[in-house]
Structure 1
Amino acid sequence: MFRTIQKSNPAFESNHLSFITVKTKNLKGRGDICLFVPPMEGLKDIPLVILLHGVYGSAWEWSQKAGVHLTAWEMIQKKELEPMVIAMPSDGLWGDGSAYLPHNDFDFEKWIVEDVTRAVIDNVVSVSEKSDLYISGLSMGGFGALRLGIKYSDKFKAVSAHSSITELEQMSLFVEESIKEYEQLNKQEESVLELALDRKEHLPQLRFDCGTEDLLISQNRLLHDQLNKAQIAHEYEEFAGGHEWDYWQKHIKDSLRFFNKFIK
């Protein structure tokens, strides 16, 4: 599937993190994936969590700003969490953020849904076609997780997002690129709510949270109210905190615990 692939050398990896770079037609070039793989023998068909970063960041962000790999490994060791692989891809590195949408002749959506899962399955022996898929993210990555999890509910078993952008127009709060660069022919693709309404009869397990001091709190509260009005089952929580890494480092545990409830 990939013309070229580079993998990190285990001799130089640390804290159970590894790295993959693949060349894909969807990015018209290379994409990076940071991986947490639990160091346990005999694991087979274990769940894969795709964890999406926000604007300005890349594949390293969740590990190097929030230590999610350390959090997950500690939870696994304490039996709070079943073994799972966490894949942390770049968003494609377009502008301040790609929004994980197809635009400008790149397909940042297929990069996540097709390429990332394929690269992990091909290179991590404990993950296979039988593995359950989950998706999470923060801010722009929360938008990506909710959109892609809902749109590809045949692939993703559950979604859990943090401090999420809920409508494409909110990207203008963060990026210098014109919102017109991101626009979709089908406007439904720009809205978490509209996608959820369209796929109401076949949705993954849904969860999202937001800090009470977050600049996106009103948008997240509105989405919660709209989903309730549409009688779409979901979990929504608010916690103290803003649009910041202290919040996401703490509450990624809530996503991992949420996914853990649905592991076979």
Structure 2
Amino acid sequence: MNPVHTFWLILMLIAPPTWAFQSRVVNIPSAAMHRTFEATVVLPDQYARGSQAPRFPVVYVLHGSGGDYTDWTANSRIGKLADRYHVILVMPDGGHESWYIDSPVDPRSRYGTYVGTEVVAYIDSHFRTIATKQARAITGLSMGGFGALRIALDRPDAFGAAGSMSGAVDPRRSEGEPGIERVFGDPMQYADFWNRVAIVASAEDFGRDHIALTIDCGASDSLVQSNRLLHERLVELGVPHGYAERPGGHTWKYWSNAVKYQVSFFAGTFRQAARDMRDARAAA
């Protein structure tokens, strides 16, 4: 991380919030899918200070099944978190039932590449980001929770932190749901793929690739058991992570509260990265 970026990152994270975030919609092309998709970008107030203003870490926040790039701003007050934690928030469109993967059966559905590579490249080239793994995080709800964890695992050099809210972390438990087999393939014919992409199958990689991890799920959510199993596997492997079950179900009331904890966690990882960089320079 550039020392100038580190200085500004530390300064921004201790500055008082101004609650004047800016939300805009951008069009992001996908070479992988030969289409252009919209995304919501929320900038903190400090971003408007001009070209000499500091660069910012980025948190990517994914919507769930049936949703789109407008879901988070329409159903929560997520925008205020950009100012509170001095981050850029990016909410890309992941398709209604894409699961944020590159489908083994539908070459037109390559949302893993789109969100994990193409969106990140676009944001870094069009906004003043700190374009490093240590200043980039990804999370999401339900299908987006699975997608966020899968994208981070598949691109360990791109994301330093990942999270999931009410995540469908084991798609094998969603077998038979409308639309899922169109992107995953037949569960018998493509059993190896279904097993490989389940987050629990790659749980140890979060530790190996130094990806800071936080997971939460409502205690009355139908997906809570698969989240508990993932948590137990991470504990068994000794992989550091945060895990929480809070009252609530698979609802926007739960997610609009949960996202505050997620972004707070990511801000903490950004601060730690800045401290580590500072300490490394001091020791050099």
TM superposition score normalised by structure 1: 0.83
Name 1:177's counterpart in structure 2.
Answer: 179
C-alpha separation between the residues in 2 aligned to 1:127 and 1:159?
Answer: 18
Name 2:40's counterpart in structure 1.
Answer: 34
Name 2:253's counterpart in structure 1.
Answer: 246
What letter corresponds to residue 55 of structure 1 in structure 2?
S
C-alpha separation between the residues in 2 aligned to 1:45 and 1:72?
Answer: 13
C-alpha separation between the residues in 2 aligned to 1:113 and 1:260?
Answer: 20
Relative to its length, the structure with more strand (as a share) is 1
Report the CA distance between 1:230 and its aligned residue: 1.8
Contact 1:150 1:203 in 2 (8 A): no
C-alpha separation between the residues in 2 aligned to 1:139 and 1:87?
Answer: 17
Report the CA distance between 1:70 and its aligned residue: 2.8
Name 2:31's counterpart in structure 1.
Answer: 25
Name 1:5's counterpart in structure 2.
Answer: none
Which protein is bigger by CA-based radius of gyration?
2
Query: Cα RMSD (Å) of the superposition?
Result: 2.1
Q: 1:62 aligns with which of 67, 72, 84?
A: 72
C-alpha separation between the residues in 2 aligned to 1:85 and 1:162?
Answer: 19
Name 1:100's counterpart in structure 2.
Answer: 100
Report the CA distance between 1:60 and its aligned residue: 0.5
C-alpha distance 63-166 of structure 1, shift in aligned 2 (>3 A): same
Please give the per-residue CA displacement for 1:110-166, whole angstroms capped at 9, x wherever unaligned: 101111111112221x21434711001000010011111222222111112100111
Contact 1:213 1:241 in 2 (8 A): yes
- Identify the range of structure 1 (131-140 vs 64-73) with the bigger mean alpha-carbon deviation: 64-73
- Unaligned 5+ residue runs, structure 1? 1-13
Name 1:190's counterpart in structure 2.
Answer: 197
Contact 2:171 2:194 in 1 (8 A): no
Report the CA distance between 1:234 and its aligned residue: 1.2
Q: How many residues align?
A: 239
Name 1:16's counterpart in structure 2.
Answer: 22
What aligned pairs does 1:208-223 form with structure 2 within 5 A after superposition?
208-223=215-230
What letter corresponds to residue 69 of structure 1 in structure 2?
G
Q: Is the aligned partner of 1:157 residue 2:160?
A: yes
Name 2:8's counterpart in structure 1.
Answer: none
User: Percent identity over the alignment?
Assistant: 23
TM superposition score normalised by structure 2: 0.78
Relative to its length, the structure with more helix (as a share) is 2
Q: Is the aligned partner of 1:262 residue 2:269?
A: yes
- Unaligned 5+ residue runs, structure 2? 1-19, 275-284
C-alpha separation between the residues in 1 aligned to 2:27 and 2:256?
Answer: 25
Please give the per-residue CA displacement for 1:167-205, whole angstroms capped at 9, x wherever unaligned: 1224447x4125253146644542111122356522301
- Identify the range of structure 1 (100-109 vs 23-32) with the bigger mean alpha-carbon deviation: 23-32
Name 2:4's counterpart in structure 1.
Answer: none
Name 1:224's counterpart in structure 2.
Answer: 231
C-alpha separation between the residues in 2 aligned to 1:34 and 1:189?
Answer: 31
C-alpha separation between the residues in 2 aligned to 1:60 and 1:232?
Answer: 34
